[in-house]
Chains A and B, each alone.
Chain A
Amino acid sequence: MPVAPSDARPDVDRPRYTRVEGRGLVKTYGPTRALAGVDIALAASEVTVVEGPNGSGKSTLLGLLSLLVRPSRGTLRFGELDAREEAATLRGTVGVLAHAALVYPDLTALESLALTAALYGLPHAEMGPRIAQLRDRFELGAFADRPARTYSRGQLQRLAIARTLLHRPSLVLLDEPSTGLDASSTQRLVQAVADERARGAIVVVVTHDTGFADAIATRRVRLSRGRVEEAA
């Protein structure tokens, strides 16, 4: 289904790689094996929904892809770049939405977005317009000048999503993104995922929300006990 990106800017949005590939990914924590040899290939303009019961390794897989966790064994490549060797460079191309909002409760939405823009090295001239664009897109305006501590769960999640997409990442990792969102916010999120896909980003989503997964997935991967059980 063709989708019209609402904020695509082909000149600056072009992903720096179009494929992420993991081979034989193993991650152990002491005696616990969180991932037991996962092979996964992710391509641009695909939305891969990762499913599986609690403890199946979904969060660990996202941790590896976000370059926060190093695999105990196996290789992970972002295009031609090896994740182990180029982690520092690659971090700027990944957007991470986690269970928590990853924002400071005593900063306002605008301050949080400005901090993210600074940390991701957005050019100063681009910072203001990009933040304004996300403020409008995720309807943050009504509360953007208040500290995040005062936000509802849904407002906080909208800010977290805006923060994740601010630097136009090539790889977008969303962990339970629809949690706490009402119907209209969920619809906006579905559109945002479609926009990211249209922009050419690689999108990986972990969710237990089957309705949301059905609305966004172009591909599904099911994990069980640290292994890929099935991919469709």
Chain B
Amino acid sequence: MSLVSASIAIAKKDLTIELRTREITISTGFFALLIATLTSLSFFVDDAFSRNVAPGVLYTAVAFSAVLAISRSWAREREQDAMRALLVAPIPRLAIYVGKAISTLAFLALVEVLLVPLVALLYHVDFLDVLGGLLGVLGLATLGIVLAGTLFGAMTVKTSARDLMLSVVLFPLITPVLLSAVVATRELLGGNEVEVIAWVKILLAYDLVVGIAAGLMFDALVSE
């Protein structure tokens, strides 16, 4: 079976389960909205200040939600040792990674559809003026977090201290994404295009490097 077909089958499986349980989207969605709401109560001073704070809140909520979503997504592979069924199947092992990454991206995209308007509302930020740029930065940042998180999330299938390990390994790894995305979004709101392009290049490079590294490492990570 080809990489594309197998990846689609695995992503479709995850989406079918999520449509039935809604477990990941509801838990991560509430978590993200709670972060945005609570921080707005603490950090809101005035419109000028909040415009600088809003990007940090947005990507903090995305990062924590992503870790939760990735952890839950891989937990499903542990139940009934389902991951083994994928490992003994005649599919490229990379398809497991790609399929899981696609479904996690879909879950997070749904959360972000709710999160972005809420952050705009609570922090009095007009994202509509920069919507195209924001979607680009947010998309690249989410992709980077998911690419790194899905890779190391696979390790948690066979680890006992799985949530701790995922957090300890993942947060330092996604720090470049969070920094770049926060600054790029802040500069986007400030209208500084040159700065935005520079930070977007870093996001692109990160996604490319992590994507290639995952392609090279995933088989070894999930093999005995």
Tell me the A residues contacting B by CB distance below 8 Å.
Answer: 63, 66-70, 88-89, 91-92, 94, 96, 98-107, 111, 115-116, 118-121, 147-148, 156, 163
Contact = CB atoms under 8 A, between A and B. Distances in A.
Interface on chain B toward A: helix, strand, loop, or mixed SS?
helix
B91 A119 contact: yes
Interface in B111-127: none
A105 B85 CA distance: 13
5 interchain residue pairs of minimum CB distance: A92-B90, A100-B81, A102-B85, A119-B89, A91-B90
11 contacts: A66-B88, A68-B84, A68-B87, A99-B81, A100-B81, A100-B84, A101-B80, A118-B1, A119-B1, A119-B9, A163-B85
Interface centre among A70, A104, A105, A121 (most CB of B within 10 A): A104
B104 to A, nearest CB: 16
Contact of A91 (B5, B81, B82, B88): B88
Contacts of B91: 119
B90 A89 contact: yes
B13 A104 contact: yes
B76 interface: yes
Given A69-B224, A106-B17, A121-B1, 6 more contacts: A91-B88, A100-B80, A100-B84, A106-B20, A116-B89, A119-B86
Nearest to B6: A119
B174 to A, nearest CB: 28
A165 to B, nearest CB: 14
A104 B84 contact: no
B42 interface: no
Given A70-B224, A121-B1, A115 B90 contact: no
B5 to A, nearest CB: 8
A119 B224 contact: no
A107 B1 contact: no
Nearest to A163: B85
A104 to B, nearest CB: 5
A163 B89 CA distance: 11
Given A103-B85, A120-B89, A115 B13 contact: yes
A99 B81 CA distance: 9
Given A70-B224, A119-B90, A104 B81 contact: no
Contacts of A99: 81
Given A70-B224, A103-B82, A119-B1, A94 B9 contact: no
A68 B84 CA distance: 8
B46 to A, nearest CB: 47
B84 A91 contact: no
B79 interface: yes
Contacts of B79: 104-105
